[in-house]
Structure 1
Amino acid sequence: MPDIRIHRSHALGLKKAREVAWAWAEEVEKKFDMECAVLEGETSDTVQFTRAGVNGRLIVAADHFDLDAKLGFLLGAFSKTIEAEIEKELDALLAKGAKASARPKKK
């Protein structure tokens, strides 16, 4: 089975990274009919996702995201397209999260 592996470093911290990961999970649930479960930890979280032909996990840490996914036979033919779409969605959410973190706080 083809594997998708994506690593993204960030400087959001765990709290903001969690927000980004949860937004990503909500997006893939709606857009791709995935089932997602979040397992919170002290230093990192794991977002497990699954649907017919796909299962994987997104590790959420204070300084990085690691996504691993296994595709079934039928979706394997589209692995590069699927990987590109995941990267696009994750990068957009990370950019949005970084922009929100950079805003000065109101007094």
Structure 2
Amino acid sequence: MATVDITREHSLGKDVARERAQLLADKLAQKLDAKCEWCGDELTFKRSGADGSILVSDDSVRVKVKLGLMLTPMAGMVKSEIEKALDKYLA
């Protein structure tokens, strides 16, 4: 199993960052065919072979994805896609 763990700082405020995290979650849900659910300031997502969370705070967003054995070879691509999306949505 591989884990992708990325934290990005922001100056958007928690509410705006949460809205942007939802956009990121929508993209992940589409690409990974994942189910997403908010619990407080943490959005969790799950699909067969992968699960993770997006934690939103006042000044940062942390994305953590655990990939199962079959998706482990794609860890580099997943990390790259998340980094691009974070750069886009938190700019």
TM-score, with normalisation over the residues of structure 1?
Answer: 0.80
- 2:27 corresponds in structure 1 to 27
**Highest relative contact order (Cα 8 Å, sep 6+), 1 or 2?**
2
Higher helix share: 1
**Equivalent residue for 1:74, pick from 70, 74, 77:** 70
- 1:38 corresponds in structure 2 to 38
Q: Secondary structure at the match of 2:11?
A: coil
Larger radius of gyration: 1
Deviations 1:14-56 (A, max 9, x none): 111111011111222223211100112xxxx001011111001
Unaligned runs of 5+ in 1: 96-107
Query: Aligned partners of 1:27 and 1:78: how far apart in 2?
Result: 17
Higher mean C-alpha displacement, 10-19 vs 24-33: 24-33
- 1:88 corresponds in structure 2 to 84
Q: Secondary structure at the match of 1:25?
A: helix
Unaligned runs of 5+ in 2: none
The RMSD of aligned alpha carbons is 1.0
The one-letter code sitting in structure 1 at the alignment partner of 2:14 is L
The one-letter code sitting in structure 2 at the alignment partner of 1:64 is S
TM-score, with normalisation over the residues of structure 2?
Answer: 0.93
Identity %: 36
Aligned length: 91
Query: Aligned partners of 2:18 and 2:80: how far apart in 1?
Result: 22
The one-letter code sitting in structure 2 at the alignment partner of 1:10 is H
